[in-house]
Structure 1
Amino acid sequence: MTKSPLLALAIAAAASLVQLGCAVLPEDAAEEPVDADEQAAIMGNGLTFNALTFNGLTFNALTFNALTFNGLTLNGSAMAALSDPLGRQKLSAIVACALPRGEAIRLNVDGVDHAFEGSVGLAPEWGKPGGACGESCKSWVSACVISRVNYLGQSVRISVRGKDRALTSTREEREGYTKREGAYFGDIFATPQKHYACVAPGASQIPRVCGPSIRDCSAIEVLGACDDVCGHELSDGAFDRCRDRSGKMQTGAVTVFLAP
């Protein structure tokens, strides 16, 4: 089994199963492949609410003091979390957001080999020996993972943008994905987890994430219009300086654009 601080904290983040009654993807549903010449921030998404809020163990079961590269051991609770397809689904989203394309975490769970592939690269240092995920890392990875939630658990291609160089968009990406949906941010590493969204100007719903109505977003709290929630707009249309329910400004915020 790969021993890495990213794996340990990601499993801890993948911490209590909250039954929300949403659709669940088939076990280990694969993301759509992305051509090598496409921007890494264009990705498939099919993370369900149940996987987003999945908690197979608590931080106390896998303490930060044990999260050293050479000293990581996974107890029965941690392995049980990865035995559940929801745990693997969430870990897959975390690794995809944190690591760049070409890097992966490979695990054998219950005798079956699994590869959790990197894609966006918001926290590449986290997967290195001795690497750690500080507050900025947690904020960006959280925003990216939350943005991948899909109400029906279906894979839909999205363009994710934000004030991080890993989310820099190409002209082709901006021209192909012009429908601004909203912004996402929060903290999936907190107890309890915090999942926030705001809707793009002129919109009142985010059906990809919430279904027919934002009132259905039981796992994500929609705070209102992004013009009101976020204090700045980047040149590519992404929102920045977004504030959570308490008014705290979030380091990481990911804005999603869809194809028209």
Structure 2
Amino acid sequence: MTKSPLLALVIAAAASLVQLGCAVLPEDTEEPVDADEQAAIMGNGLTFNGLTFNGLTFNGLTFNALTFNGLTFNGPVMAALSDPRGRQQLSAIVGCALPKGEAIRLNIDGVDHSFEGSIGLAPEWGKSGGACGENCKSWVSACVISRVNHLGQSVQISARGKDKALASARAEREGYTAREGAYFGDIFATPQKLHACVAPGASQIPRVCGPSIQGCSPIDVLGECDDVCGHELDDGAFDKCRDRSGKMQKAAVTVFLAP
């Protein structure tokens, strides 16, 4: 199995997650289309169970001790990656963090798996000796939360935000005009901090929450983005969003859908 600083932090993060169910989930394998023109269009099929999967353990190793040179892949880690939820979680995180053309390749139970980069919000994380600091954690968290789908069905979304990796071409903005909401938080925290706000004038985000935001737990829907976020970018993305305590988040990903 290939060792990687990205995988090390993924395993550390996953140890703190809250498991919500035991359904076997589909792998999210859909790649972004027209990446050169529409770099932030991505498929999404991550369910709540995949987002909060807690099957990865590391037998007493502390978060800070999980370094590129010190990581060992023990039985519990391998067992977790044998579960579709563990692979789905890793796929979503790698897709958000690494750019298109980069990947983490692992052999799990004798089967080769490739976890492909897509958006490139934290390219430094995949380099030898790399690390994921606060900005990396914030952007990857926002991206992963935005990929949750209530039914686990992959649909294409346009993800936009202040990071240059989320810059949108005109064709993307013209093709994806239905603003859904913004997502932000910290999937690496214990417990996780998962937040969303709905587009102005909307009351639901059915792609993520299903028929009602009242049943959207563990994602905390804070209200309309106009009230939650302090700034709107030229492409319609929200910035300077605050959680329920009033703390401003370092990153937010705004999702647009095709009409």
After TM superposition, the score normalised by the length of structure 2 is 0.94
Instruction: Trace 1:149-164 onto structure 2 (pairs within 5 A).
Output: 149-164=148-163
Q: Which residue of 1 aligns with 2:230?
A: 231
Give the superposition deviation at 1:211: 0.5
Q: Structure 1 residues 7, 209: CA separation in 2 closer, same or farther (over 3 Å shift)?
A: same
Match of 1:77 in 2: 76
Equivalent residue, structure 2, for 1:19: 20
Tell me: CA distance 1:189–1:112, structure 2 relative to 1, closer, same or farther (3 Å): same
- How far did 1:20 drift? 4.6
Give 3-state SS (helix, strand or coil) of 1:50's partner: helix
1:127-176 alpha-carbon deviations (Å, 9 max, x no partner): 00110001111000000000000000000100000010000011111000
SS of corresponding position for 2:44: coil
Q: Which string of whole-angstrom CA distances, capped at 9 and with x for unpartnered residues, describes residues 62-81 of structure 1? A: 42343332332122222222
| Pairwise CA distance, 1:18 | 1.9
- Deviation digits for residues 19-52 of structure 1, max 9, x if unmatched? 258x7533x3422452343422100000000000
Q: Return structure 1 stretches of 4+ with deviation > 6 angstroms.
A: none
Give the match for residue 31 of structure 1.
30
Query: In the alignment, which residue of structure 2 is the partner of 1:100?
Result: 99
Alignment partner, residue 55 of structure 1: 54
- Aligned Cα RMSD in Å? 1.7
Name the % identity: 83
Give SS of 1:35's match. coil
Q: Aligned partners of 2:67, 2:28: CA distance in 1, in Å? A: 30
CA shift digits 1:105-147 (9 cap, x unpaired):
0001111110000000000000001100011110000000000
2:25, 2:50 within 8 Å by CA — same for their partners in 1? no
Q: CA–CA distance in 1 between the matches of 2:58 and 2:69?
A: 19
Q: Would the aligned equivalents of 2:24 and 2:84 in 1 still touch at CA under 8 Å? A: no
Corresponding residue pairs, total: 258
What is the DSSP-based 3-state SS (H/G/I as helix, E as strand, rest coil) of the residue aligned with 2:107? strand
Give the equivalent residue in structure 2 for 1:10. 10
Instruction: Give 1:55 shift.
Output: 1.2
Say yes or no: does 1:126 pair with 2:125: yes
CA distance in 2, matches of 1:193, 1:79: 23
Contact 1:14 1:91 in 2 (8 A): no
Displacement after TM superposition at 1:104 (Å): 0.1
CA distance in structure 2 between the partners assigned to 1:17 and 1:88 by the alignment: 16
Mark the runs of 5 or more structure 2 residues left unpaired by the alignment.
none
How much has 1:238 moved relative to structure 2? 0.3
Distance of 2:241 and 2:65 partners within structure 1 = 33
Question: Would the aligned equivalents of 1:24 and 1:50 in 2 still touch at CA under 8 Å?
Answer: no
Mapped contact 2:8–2:67 kept (Cα < 8 A): no
Q: After superposition, where does 1:236-255 map in structure 2 within 5 Å?
A: 236-255=235-254
Secondary structure at the counterpart of residue 105 of structure 1: strand
Cα contact 2:8–2:68 (8 A) shared by 1: no
Q: For residue 25 of structure 1, what is the amino acid of its counterpart?
A: L
3-state SS in 2 of match to 1:157: strand
Q: In structure 2, how many angstroms separate the alpha carbons of the residues matched to 1:195 and 1:17?
A: 12
SS in 2 for 1:51: helix
- Give me the whole-angstrom Cα distance separating, in 2, the residues matched to 1:61 and 1:88: 22
CA distance in 2, matches of 1:36, 1:123: 17
Unaligned runs of 5+ in 1: none
SS for the counterpart of 1:218 is coil
AA in 2 matched with 1:130: G
Tell me the distance in 2 between the aligned counterparts of 1:104 and 1:179: 31
What one-letter code is carried by the residue in structure 1 that aligns with 2:6? L
